[in-house]
Amino acid sequence: MLSDAYDVAVIGAGVFGAWTAYQLRRAGAKVVLLDGYGAANSRASSGGESRIMRMIYGPDELYTRSAARSLKLWLDLFEDIHQGVKPSLDPLFQRTGVLLLARDKDWYADATAKTLERAGIPFEKLDRSQLVNRYPQLEFGPITWGILDLEGGVLMARRAVRALVAHLIRLGGVYVDEGVFAPQAKTRLESVKTKNRTILAEKFIFACGPWLPKLFPELLGELIHVTRQEVFFIGVPEDSNQFAPPSLPVWIDFSDLVYALPNVDDRGFKVAIDRHGPDFDPDTGDRLVSKESAVAVRDYLTARVPALKDSPIMETRVCQYENTANGDFLIDMHPDHPNVWLVGGGSGHGFKHGPVVGEYVTGRISGEVAVEPRFTLATKSRLRSREVY
């Protein structure tokens, strides 16, 4: 069996793990990144084609500022990858804008506007007539106003993570396409094992999303809940740009718990119900959508996007959220292993924050960044009460 030694071993090549490995490598660490199914694989929470990049977080300034910082780091990364030349086809980020649909006396939208203003993030407040005139594709029903996050858009998730891992390798990081067995140690962890090698390291970071409660069942089994989430891609009319940017932005309707993405890559119009689904196993769960979800999506299209109510479903996808009780991330040391870090709990909104998560972990390991209490293990509850959207 092969044996390799590193400063840091990062287990999980999704967005949190890949960005953490990248930030550590840039800080000078000898880093290995491992994933048994492959970087941003189809079982991973980072494995979908697209994710929303938004600064819209209601009153939550922590995640608003994190998203803004992360967007800058994403764009810096893409510029580095392309050596200053922006690709003309299939960019890894499309600035579509993100529209928050609001009703009368909508506390979340009101709070969002105040938070964006405090953070210096550009946005527009649109009244009902402006919404109708600007987006005639939509039927607004009870929607009376909206907030357009002008900087937001769509990250091409799977391709972006794989590009990041490739860039990590160019910078001297090591990537191993193998999974690890559950760690065995009473105190300090000296190594982890795969089928073919032993990985020795000074520090270990487990950033393996829905596999975290499987690797640490006694500690995290009741603190991180993995739920099944279903996504639909709807066919759009031929030779029509009305459902593509710039004619249509991403939009979010938290009152109905629905989000939708325009046709950014010719895969169709993406729509999903954002309610937490049933418990799900990322290794063995079937990836076929339910008839009930298809009906719910059709009902929503009929009400909000009537031009697409009879359009064909072009693709579907079943992914998962790994939810903490309230939606805050988990980024903390293992209580029994002083050189082991747990990084996860993306809770459905985490993808965009990958760069800042990587920065935070790197800073915590070096001792240069203060503890954010909301990310600590001590604040994680068994009682589910979603607060971060």
Strand partners, 97: none
Q: What is the mean pLDDT of residues 303-315?
A: 96
The pLDDT, as a whole number, for residue 297 is: 97
For residue 80, the SS3 value is helix
pLDDT at 86 over 80: no
The pLDDT, as a whole number, for residue 2 is: 66
**Plot region of 345 (φ>0 → left; ψ -120 to 50 → alpha; else → beta):** left
pTM recorded for the entire structure: 0.96
Tell me the domains of the chain and their CATH numbers. Answer: 2-47+158-223+325-379 (3.50.50.60), 95-153+225-322 (3.30.9.10)
The pLDDT, as a whole number, for residue 84 is: 60
Q: What is the mean pLDDT of residues 13-34?
A: 98
Q: What is the mean pLDDT of residues 236-259?
A: 95
Q: What is the DSSP letter of 324?
A: -
Task: Measure the CA–CA gap between 337 and 2, rounded to whole angstroms.
Answer: 24
Q: What is the mean pLDDT of residues 49-61?
A: 98
Q: What is the mean pLDDT of residues 280-295?
A: 96
pLDDT digits (tens, 9 = 90+) for 254-287: 999 999 999 999 999 999 999 999 999 999 999 9
Q: What is the mean pLDDT of residues 43-55?
A: 96
Q: What is the DSSP letter of 195?
A: S
pLDDT at 50 over 60: yes
pLDDT digits (tens, 9 = 90+) for 87-112: 556 799 999 999 999 999 999 999 99
- Which residues have a Cβ under 8 Å from the Cβ of 67 and sit 6 or more positions away? 53, 54, 55, 57, 352, 353
**What's the token pair of residue 310?**
């009879």
Task: Measure the CA–CA gap between 251 and 310, rounded to whole angstroms.
Answer: 20
Q: Which of 237, 243, 242 is nearest to 263 (CA)?
A: 243
pLDDT at 85 over 70: no
> Any idea which of 80-84, 114-118, 146-150, 286-290 has the lowest mean pLDDT?
80-84
Task: Measure the CA–CA gap between 345 and 377, rounded to whole angstroms.
Answer: 11
Q: What is the mean pLDDT of residues 329-341?
A: 97
With contact defined as beta carbons under 8 Å apart, do 251 and 300 qualify?
A: no
- The secondary element (H helix, E strand) that includes residue 100 is strand 98-102
The pLDDT, as a whole number, for residue 285 is: 96
If pLDDT is split at 50, 70 and 90, which confidence band does 3 have? low
Q: What percent of the chain has pLDDT over 90?
A: 95
The pLDDT, as a whole number, for residue 330 is: 98
pLDDT digits (tens, 9 = 90+) for 338-349: 999 999 999 999
**Chain mean pLDDT for the chain:** 96
Alpha-helical segments (H) within 143-240: 157-170, 212-215, 217-220
If pLDDT is split at 50, 70 and 90, which confidence band does 82 have? confident
- Which residues have a Cβ under 8 Å from the Cβ of 166 and sit 6 or more positions away? none
Residue with tokens 């293992």: 334
pLDDT digits (tens, 9 = 90+) for 207-240: 999 999 999 999 999 999 999 999 999 999 998 8
Q: What is the DSSP letter of 378?
A: G
The pLDDT, as a whole number, for residue 87 is: 58
